[in-house]
Structure 1
Amino acid sequence: MAKTDWKFNDIVTETDMNELGQEVNDNLEKVDTHTEATTDVHGATSGAEPNTISQRTEEGDLVARRFVSNGGENFVGPVSNDRFVVRTVNGSASLEGIVSRLIANAYHDGVGFKRFNPSYNSMMLDANSPGNKLIVLKGNKGNEIFKWDYTEYVPTATANNLTLYVRIDGNDNNDGLSNSASGAFKTIAAAIAIIPNIVDHAIVINVAAGTYNEEIALRGFIGKGSISIIGAAARSSSVNYRFNNFISEKNTVRVILKGFEFLTAPLWANSSSIFIYDNPGYVSVQYCRSVFVGSDKIGAFAITSPVVSIYDCEISNKSNAILCAYSSGMIAETISGVGNNVAYTAQLNAKLTILSSLITSNVPMFADTGGMIVNNANSVINPWGDNTASAKSYVEAAHTSSAVSLPTNVITRLAYATIGKDHLGEWTGGNRFTAKTAGPHHIAASIQLMSVAAGSNSQLIIYVNGIYARTLGSVTNNSAGYVTISGSTLVYLNVGDIIDFYGNCTASCVTNMDGRNSWLSISRV
């Protein structure tokens, strides 16, 4: 005979449930036989309750029949009645079959009994099922037969570590527990949907290569556990693992995203491929790429999120590659990219730390409204400080490689091809400066000429964007020979403005290849 003294959270083995199920089936068979014998007093139905099987004592009095469904009264502990329903299956499948499947796949060796609601005349079974869902079975009387319905709920908290699988050939009706077409989910969103809000364990979602046309959003997960969404193992392979964009919002659990390429940066995500918003927990984005052309888009954007790490990622062709704002804290390590307008931005009391990163952009770094940028463990980038010289626009070059002939009264371009310093890569071709940051620039230069005729005048000139802008120096010599012309000026340059250096002489002459006398320096002030 089946066990009848069940307690809260007891474990039901397959043998127990088979015994219980067999008793249910035996009783149903007896009821059917009893119903057919309508001429016997004990087979009569109750006139007060038509179509309800009743039993009578030997004296002919009605006896209240106790259905197996009332077994719930033996068990204590309510199951939360406000869980999100994933799906409900109704039918007359045998109890043994359903429970056997649960026991075979559940995290535990059995299924625990709980009472769902004292007002229900039904027996409820509660199991942590595959996919971390809650299974509730309800036995109910319908037209003199028992039907076993089960409902899957997402529980409020994790019970164990969980690994899920997503494949483009999967199916969202699968349980996600195996890396096969018949076991994996088809979408990443389906895997996220079965994660409880309280995560106290490690949740790992392994995503197979492919393009997933979906936004991946993790919102409101709390607890001491972690959620990891894993694609490629290296940035070079992330091109094979693609989805639209990523959002992490209001999570206290540890969030890790690894090995994906982003396809979009939608407006509702602040035009960002990676959007970390109001997220108090740690977020790490690793081995990812956002390289599509978006002149008004952002690669990675953190708002009111204190602990964000962007590691070994590539961000190209964006208005802002990395933006940190509203008291956020971010570390950008080993980041690369080309074609961006601004590489790094910190605003509104945010702190952005840059480690071993090289992003090509018009503006390397920008900070305002209390934002702070720290570069390779140096001190603050903005406002400018003596210990942050390597982050400033600065060029030193000398004229040492090839002499330049200056015909009479022909303004001729000069070459300073030997580079001493070029912090931001602004000196190109040995004779041109292209500004990567906007602001006033101090320009100083010198050129030494040889074989200058007595009484001739020589000039050192700068052009801005192809237009004669300044005469740095002008010398009229009294005797033939060498003449050195030098000077300095301040010029406000916008990003992309070009400075060229020219010389002019009223009598033909030639430059002297001596870096001590023919040199230039440019720095932003």
Structure 2
Amino acid sequence: MVTTPQQTTADITYYVRTDGNDNNTGLVNTAGGAFRTIQKAINSISKHVLHSVTINVAAGTYAEDISFADMSGGTEVWLNGGTSYETAANFKVKSMTFYGVSNQVVVTGFIATSTTRVGFLINNSIFIQMLYCRISADGKTNSVGGFEASNHSGLRLYGCEASNRTAGIVSNQGSTVISRNSFGTSNNIGLSAYDGGTITKKDGQPAGTTNEQIDAGIITWGVLNPWGDNTIDTRPFAAMYMDAGGDVPLTAGVDKKLIFNGVHMSQKGVAEPSQGGFYAPERGIYELSVRVGFGITTSVTSGVATKIYINGVLNCTLSEGAITTALMGCTLNGNTTLVLNPGDRVHIYAVALHNSNVSWASQYTYATLARVA
């Protein structure tokens, strides 16, 4: 005997209260009209949803592993608890699972308490939105996550918390997760994307011992490049030259700091002409390219080299060469990759075995620094 209609015929609102009864109709927000369990309200929804369905839940503890399963249609289902992160603490469930749901389901303001199950699991479901939902019960010892989208599912999180879990937010098996203004602490892994899963993040995110873990997946700010942007104009970069007004003398065997005080181009404050070098505004992998022209003031062959200093400490010898009496000069070109932290300063030095000089002209001596990852 079929007790639940197979498709909706009009918009409907169900009510759930801790003093309700599952033998009620669920249609009236009183103890004598509301359901006692959230699962009863979900089970009362037609499998084919063509109209808006709303489930309004009163504050309380609902010791339920809630399941949305095999639901189709083109309209929304709304599961309403708290209206903020703070009030979500008053709407307790054990866990929530979505499987085979093609409707958009919007869940607002619930806290999951299970230590043995994924707090909010979305499997084979097109698009679930979760606002101000929380999971902070310790599931690390049971290897369970906070929010997980699996098997080509779509999940959007806003203002959600995942703490004390094996992984705070997980996307796998071709799923897509959008996470905005989310947070959490004490996870083993903050964000995990694997087996084709994608997490697009904005603003705060759950933290962990490992903040992000990627295994054949993608974690991005919204574009698929190493810089987290899709415009050249916002990428750290600078091109500088020596505007010394004359050649720079080198004393034999002494490293000489070259003052790059002319700026061809600078973005995000990378050029620092007052210090004669480059400044890293953010952590990343940078490529440094340097060209230095040398001349000789003696009649002997002299070895010459360029060196890179970071924060006043020698990092590497960039290039080496020789000035011969026949050539009476040479130009050294060099490139290197540097891992820089915010606030790091990069300077270029020159050294020669005999008294020499460095040509100040920009066509001979210039340098560029660009963040590449």
* 2:101 corresponds to 1:251: yes
Query: Equivalents in 1 of 2:201, 2:72: separation in Å?
Result: 29
**Aligned match of 2:132:** 287
**What amino acid does structure 2 have at the position aligned with 1:321?**
G
- Within the candidate set 313, 316, 335, 2:163 is matched to 316
Q: Distance in 1 between matches of 2:138 and 2:26?
A: 35
- Does residue 175 of structure 1 match 2:25? yes
Q: How far apart, CA to CA, are the structure 2 residues paired with 1:249 and 1:386?
A: 39
TM-score, normalised relative to structure 1: 0.44
Structure 2 CA distance for aligned equivalents of residues 381 and 253 of structure 1: 34
CA distance in 1: counterparts of 2:95 and 2:186, whole angstroms:
20
Counterpart for residue 254 of structure 2: none
Percent identical:
27
Once residues 152 and 31 of structure 2 are traced to their aligned partners in structure 1, the CA distance between those partners, rounded to angstroms, is 37
More strand by share: 2
Distance 1:347 1:224 in 2: 29
Give secondary structure in 2 for the equivalent of 1:189. Answer: helix
Give the secondary-structure state (helix, strand or coil) at the position aligned to 1:239.
Answer: helix
Give the conservation status (yes or no) of the 8 Å contact 1:335–1:356: yes
Equivalent in 317, 333, 352 of residue 180 of structure 2:
333
Which residue of the other structure, out of 224, 228, 231, is the alignment partner of 1:379?
A: 224
Residues 290, 299 of structure 1: 8 Å contact kept: yes
Cα distance change of structure 1 residues 217 and 516 upon mapping to structure 2, 3 Å threshold:
closer
**AA partner of residue 367 (structure 1):** I
Which residue among 142, 159, 165 is the counterpart of 2:15?
Answer: 165
Secondary structure in 1 aligned to 2:72? coil
Distance 1:366 1:172, change over 3 A: same
Kindly provide the CA deviation profile for residues 294-349 of structure 1, in whole angstroms up to 9, marking residues without a partner as x.
22221111112342111110111222111101111111111111112221111111
Which of 190, 200, 206 is equivalent to 1:353?
A: 200
Task: Give the greater-gyration-radius structure (CA).
Answer: 1
Please state if 1:236 is matched with 2:93. Answer: no
Question: 1:364-414, CA deviations, whole angstroms, 9 ceiling, x for partnerless residues?
Answer: 222222x11211x3434599x998999xxxxxxxxxxxxxxxxxxxxxxxx
Which has the higher relative contact order, 1 or 2, with Cα contacts under 8 A spaced 6 or more apart? Answer: 2
Q: Aligned ranges for residues 258-277 of structure 1 at < 5 Å? A: 258-266=108-116, 271-277=117-123
Report the more deviating stretch, 297-306 or 196-205: 297-306
Work out whether residues 343 and 365 of structure 1, in 8 Å CA contact, stay in contact via their aligned partners in 2: yes
Contact residue 367 and residue 382 of structure 1 kept, 8 A = no
For structure 1, list consecutive stretches of 5 or more residues without a partner in the other structure.
Answer: 1-81, 84-152, 391-418, 425-443, 449-459, 461-470, 473-489, 492-514, 518-522
Matched, 1:206 2:56: yes
Answer whether contact 2:163 2:186 (CA < 8 A) is retained: yes
Give 1:278's aligned amino acid: N
Q: Which amino acid aligns with 2:6?
A: T
Partner secondary structure for residue 220 of structure 1:
strand
1:299 matches 2:149: no
Unpaired segments of 5 or more residues in structure 2? 237-278, 285-308, 317-337, 340-344, 348-370
Question: Displacement, 1:198?
Answer: 1.1
1:386–1:323 CA distance, 2 compared to 1 (3 A): farther
- Distance between the aligned counterparts of 1:172 and 1:360, measured in 2? 40
What does the per-residue CA deviation read over 1:470-503, in whole Å, with 9 as the maximum and x for residues that have no partner?
x99xxxxxxxxxxxxxxxxx99xxxxxxxxxxxx
Report SS of the residue matched to 1:298: coil
What displacement does 1:252 show? Answer: 1.0
Aligned CA distance change for structure 1 residues 161 and 354 (closer, same or farther; 3 Å): same
CA gap 1:326/1:172 in 2 versus in 1, 3 angstroms: same
Quote the Cα distance in structure 2 between the aligned partners of 1:190 and 1:197: 14
Q: Displaced runs of 4+ in structure 1, greater than 6 A?
A: 385-390
Residue 124 of structure 2 is aligned with which of 275, 278, 294? 278
What's the offset of the Cα at 1:214? 0.4
> 1:146: which partner in 2?
none
The root-mean-square deviation of aligned C-alpha atoms, in Å, is: 3.5
CA-CA distance at 1:204 after TM superposition:
0.6
Amino acid at match of 1:352: I
Distance in 2 of aligned mates of 1:373 and 1:164: 38
**Shift in Å at residue 168 of structure 1?**
0.5
Q: Which amino acid aligns with 2:123?
A: Y
| CA distance in structure 1 between the partners assigned to 2:80 and 2:165 by the alignment | 25
Paired residues of 2:179 and 2:205 also in contact (CA < 8 A): no
* 1:109-508 correspondence to structure 2 within 5 Å: 153-266=3-116, 271-279=117-125, 281-295=126-140, 296-369=143-216, 371-375=217-221, 377-380=222-225
Answer 1 or 2: which has greater helix percent. 1
Equivalent pair of 2:135/2:162 in contact (CA under 8 Å) = yes
Q: Deviations over 1:2-25 (max 9, x none)?
A: xxxxxxxxxxxxxxxxxxxxxxxx
The one-letter code matched in structure 2 to 1:374 is: T
Distance 1:346 1:306 in 2: 13
